[in-house]
Copies of this chain bind each other. A is one copy, B any other.
């Protein structure tokens, strides 16, 4: 089976990228862990950049697909008896559940996605960010639009900033999840997992979303 090579590369790359970052993982460690030849990456993906893109696309494609369905279900169930606060948390929960479902179904690492977004935004030039927004921006517009409705008092610019503050909670927590879970286990003797973290984060994000606008912006 020819796709076995491709899949083994993607699986190994995903793990290595998530734990050591994109720049710090070499193609040699990936191909060694995948038990394929070094040249296989360039043969199948063209370049290392192509591999990174393939790894993230393999995650984002089913995620956007899943999110689309869940958001449609959500909208068709409106109006419901939920309060504004409950509805906001439910909406944020949909994003979280979408991620979790895709992770579980395809055995992906959520940390790699968080890390990707992290590095995408940290780069000032932002080639990666542009690729993400161009490729998947439209798919997330629906979610953004629904979230926007829960912050009607804001201007578009205020919503832009607030959204990225919320994104910061998610991205930092998840991309640091390995370290945080390890610290938690060592310090508090309690073994947590990513699902519990997500459930814990959602009300925090909801509160942050509803924070009053009293800054200078």
Q: A188-B157, A208-B169 are in contact. Are A122 and B215 (CB under 8 A)?
A: no
The yes or no answer to A23 lying at the interface (CB within 8 A) is yes
Tell me whether B196 and A203 are in contact (CB under 8 A). no
A-B contact pairs, 23 of them (CB 8 A): A19-B124, A20-B123, A21-B23, A21-B122, A23-B24, A118-B172, A121-B175, A122-B176, A124-B182, A156-B188, A160-B187, A160-B188, A161-B184, A161-B200, A162-B204, A164-B176, A199-B215, A199-B216, A202-B215, A203-B211, A207-B207, A207-B212, A208-B208
A122 contacts B115, CB within 8 Å? yes
Closest 3 pairs (CB-CB, A-B): A168-B172, A200-B215, A207-B211
A23 to B23 alpha-carbon distance, docked (Å): 7
Do B157 and A184 touch across chains, with their CB atoms under 8 A apart? yes
> Roughly how many angstroms separate A81 CA and B208 CA in the complex, as a whole number?
25
Q: Does A37 contact B (CB under 8 A)?
A: no
Contacts of A183 in B (CB 8 A): 160
A178 beta carbon closer than 8 Å to chain B: yes
Task: Verify if A136 is at the interface (C-beta below 8 Å from B).
Answer: no
Majority secondary structure of chain A interface residues (helix, strand, loop or mixed): helix
Complex-state Cα separation, A170 to B182, whole angstroms: 22
Contacts of A195 in B (CB 8 A): 216
**Across-interface contacts of A19 in B (CB, < 8 A):** 124
> Which listed residue (B170, B206, B212, B213) contacts A211, Cβ 8 A?
B206
In A114-164, which residues have CB < 8 Å from any B CB? 115, 118-119, 121-124, 126, 129, 156-157, 160-162, 164
| Bound: A216/B202 CA distance, A | 11
Instruction: Specify which chain B residues have a CB less than 8 angstroms from the CB of A118 in the assembled complex.
Output: 118, 122, 172, 175
Report B-chain residues with C-beta under 8 Å of the C-beta of A24. 23
Chain B residues in 8 Å Cβ range of A210: 207
Q: Is A167 an interface residue (CB 8 A)?
A: yes
Is A180 an interface position by the 8 A CB rule?
yes
Q: Are A215 and B203 in contact (CB under 8 A)?
A: yes
Question: Which residue of chain B has its CB nearest to the CB of A18?
Answer: B124
